Chains A and B, each alone.
Chain A
Amino acid sequence: MDLDSLFSCFASTSCVITQTTSGFIIGMLLFLVAVGLTLIFGILKVVNFSHGVFYMIGAYLALTVYQTTGSFPLALLAGGFGAALVGLAIERAFMSRIYGANPLMQILVCYALILIFDDLARLIWGGDFRSMGMPDVFQVPPVFIFGGVAPPYYIFVIAVAAAIAIVLALVIARTRFGKIVRAAAHNPAMVSALGINTVAIYALVFAAGCLLAGLAGALAAPVRTVSPGMGFSILIESFIVTVIGGMGSIAGALVGALLIGMLRTFGALGFPLFNEGLMYIFMVMVLVIRPSGLFGKEAA
């Protein structure tokens, strides 16, 4: 334990700003993956263990497109929409068959998908780890805000993720589509009886979750190692986020992801040898005090 450096950090503006922005960086990428997970659970009632696969697909597609075209915006689009298309195909072929099935069956199918896609990635892109490289526009020295350090690329990532959070919240709360989605989550039989195509809604929601995961992978590709099995590394943390925030809650995913981000960056200063453990202790505390998560519905 090194509480001295934690307290001395709180005493300095530059340190607080640096650690807070890094908390946002970790948190916002995590949010993009976790929000898809939580949406899919909330509406489809499937715990999608294979969600990390779409993060990996997004990263690989972005890497390939960036290295062939040199265009970063194109790479981001390819990562997001590529993952969404694969997700749509998976939903139609496999997921739609296991809605309402025994959870054990759902886990088995998801686990099989993880193994299959990891091997496919190995066949297509090779077993070696790859690095995409930072787009030229972001190859600039970090920005200093009141003495705190923030790399421009990370500011961009935070902005994109924040924009998505806002758009998502608006779509769910304000649009007709959002209303239908919320209704389908609550009572799919009634929604279906009203003549609304719930099959299409389910497929769209699943694809949207995959799009967000793919986009997160594409955003992570310039800074994180791209390799088969990379999806698993973010899956566990995403689950912790959804458990803390409450399964099915978008606000919960955002708050949970940011809390994990802050816990990691400030925890690294105060508890360097126990940083990983902090996250799990926090999760256990939430589960004990509020078993359904911070924003989960009590009855869930």
Chain B
Amino acid sequence: MTDNDSRIGRRAALVLGGGAAAMLAAPWVARAQARTIKIGMPTILSGRVATLGISSRNAVMMEMEKVNAAGGLAGRPVEMIFRDSKAQPQEAARVVRELVNTDGCEIIIDGEASSGSFAVQEVARDLKMLTIHTCSETSSLSADPKLRIPNAFRCVRQGVHDSVAGAAYAAKIAKEKGLKKWATCSPDYAYGRDTTAEFVGYLKQFAPDVEIVSESWPKLAQPDYTETLTKLLQANPQAVYSCIWGGDLTAFIDQGNLYGVFSKTPFFAVNMADYTVLTAVKNLPQGIHSGNRYIKTFPMTPQNAAWGDAYREKFKEYPTNWSWQNAAAVAFLAAAAKKANSTDTAKMSEALMGLTIDSPFGMNGKITMRAEDQTIVDYAIGWGTTIPKEPYMPNVTPGDWKQIVELETAWKKSKGYI
């Protein structure tokens, strides 16, 4: 009996002990599960712009590894969930709702181009979760107070900043070399039209002698630019401006070379200094003026070069303009979570307002999330000329952020935003 009793006693003890251990461990297990924070990211992973979307995802994965290695966001490990929006705004909006409602994401990194980002902004307004746009360059997204919400931020270069910096650079060369007759040639959709109009407006403001003698609006993904090029030859301008980008720019350069356009006329192509274009063009002409997109040589710091090399090492290709913007966004999220010591939307949003971080992509090693319109300033912005081989754009003239902000403010006033 005694033996029996004692056996039962031991069994009971084991059961009780096990149960107690399980009970004690349960909240710990539950807490560990809740600690993981899911971040959702819609971006363009198929179609013509897929290269950019993939480069965005790459940058986020690379930077999130570092964040997780350093303990996550406010102590919570991050799990990223990526979804393809196929470059369709309605799909982007649907995907974001799914990421939040079904997958339980608490933060959205919005890797959408302009059209999709406006749709995502409205979903963010509705669902009230922290959202950071990382690819949309259209200025009104953050400048227009009617669109603004306290929980959405933008970590992207802006059209109006590029136009001011580009026009200031171009005006200086125009005055030095007496370039008065200009032609423009840009893609026929919102980005091409707006960016060109802003550039021309500022150029005329900085160099009043400039006149536009010819304008062409080839459509997006047009295979042949012959008529555009011969029209340029007829207009015989002293300089040409273009915001054609990607594969279209490659074709434009290849075809323009046949007509010798770039050997005699200075060409200002804001989107030229992008590694995807620079490495694709086989006969890259010397001396094309371009804005920086992402380039290892600007800012010319060991941190920036190291980041570009690390990305290349990991993904076997150079980062794009979208890559640095996404990398910077992850850094902003990490810094905000640290400052707020929380991943709560309201607390992180408050921490992001006016937050300055150390960044390889900052003009002076720092980027600020401007509090008044929740968008970044002081990022690296500049123009230079290309050479046909590495480092492609060795010398970049930095833009003047004081002038950029001054003219941006004037632009906002003219639009009735402030």
Chain A residues with a Cβ under 8 A of chain B: 5, 9, 15, 18-19, 22, 25-26, 29, 127-134, 138-139, 141-142, 149, 151, 153-154, 220, 222-225, 227, 229-230, 233-234, 264-265, 267-269, 272-273, 275-276
Contacts and interface: CB of A to CB of B under 8 A. Distances in A.
A264 B283 CA distance: 27
B48 A229 contact: yes
B230 A265 contact: yes
A220 B282 CA distance: 15
A225 B250 contact: yes
B251 A18 contact: no
A275 B227 contact: yes
B219 interface: yes
Interface in B234-270: 234-235, 246-248, 250-251, 254-255, 257-260
B231 interface: yes
A270 to B, nearest CB: 10
A131 B259 contact: no
Contact of A26 (B224, B233, B254, B276): B224
Given A25-B226, A131-B282, 14 more contacts: A5-B234, A15-B234, A22-B230, A26-B224, A129-B250, A131-B281, A138-B258, A142-B259, A220-B223, A225-B223, A230-B223, A264-B227, A268-B228, A269-B231
Interface in B51-92: 51, 54
B50 interface: yes
A268 B216 CA distance: 8
B230 A127 contact: no
Interface string B133-169: 0000000000000000000000000000000000000
Given A19-B230, A275-B227, A227 B48 contact: yes
B215 interface: yes
B72 to A, nearest CB: 32
A268 B227 contact: yes
Contact of B233 (A149, A224, A230): A149
Given A18-B234, A265-B226, A276 B219 contact: yes
Interface in B387-406: none
Closest 9 CB pairs of A and B: A133-B282, A129-B247, A151-B258, A268-B227, A225-B247, A225-B251, A22-B226, A265-B227, A233-B223
Contacts of A225: 223, 247-248, 250-251, 254, 280
Contact of B247 (A151, A154, A227, A268): A227
12 contacts: A128-B276, A129-B250, A131-B251, A149-B230, A154-B226, A154-B258, A225-B250, A227-B247, A264-B226, A265-B226, A272-B215, A276-B219
B101 interface: no
Contacts of A134: 254, 257-258, 282-283
Contacts of B227: 19, 22, 26, 264-265, 267-268, 275
B224 A272 contact: no
Contacts of A230: 223
Given A223-B254, A225-B223, A268-B231, A129 B259 contact: no
Nearest to A132: B282
Contacts of A224: 223-224, 251, 254-255
B283 A139 contact: yes
B307 interface: no
B410 interface: no
A250 B288 CA distance: 43
B310 interface: no
Contacts of A220: 223
A127 B51 contact: yes
Nearest to A262: B227
Interface in B16-59: 48, 50-51, 54
Contacts of B234: 5, 9, 15, 18-19, 269
B260 A142 contact: yes
Contact of B50 (A22, A127, A234, A265): A127
B206 interface: no
Nearest to B53: A127
Chain B interface residue bracket vs A: 35 or more
A151 B282 contact: no
Nearest to A276: B219
A67 to B, nearest CB: 9
Contacts of B215: 272
A5 B233 CA distance: 12
Nearest to A130: B280
Contacts of A275: 227
A18 B259 CA distance: 11
B283 A133 contact: yes
B230 A234 contact: no
Contacts of B224: 25-26, 29, 224
Contacts of A133: 282-283
A138 B260 CA distance: 12
A267 B222 CA distance: 16
Given A142-B259, A272-B216, A129 B246 contact: yes
Nearest to A30: B224
A122 to B, nearest CB: 9
A294 to B, nearest CB: 22
A128 B113 CA distance: 18
A68 B224 CA distance: 26
A273 B327 CA distance: 39
Contact of B217 (A149, A151, A272): A272
A233 to B, nearest CB: 5
A127 B217 CA distance: 26
Contacts of B226: 22, 25-26, 154, 264-265
Given A26-B226, A26-B227, A225-B248, A128 B258 contact: no
B186 to A, nearest CB: 12
A121 B266 CA distance: 36
Given A22-B230, A129-B250, A223 B51 contact: no
Contacts of B190: none
Contacts of A129: 246-247, 250, 276, 280
Contact of A223 (B216, B233, B251): B251
Contact of B222 (A127, A151, A233): A233
Contacts of A233: 221-223
Given A127-B50, A130-B280, A133-B283, A18 B223 contact: no
Contacts of A151: 258-259
Nearest to B284: A131
A131 B233 contact: no
Contacts of A131: 250-251, 254, 280-282
A234 B223 contact: yes
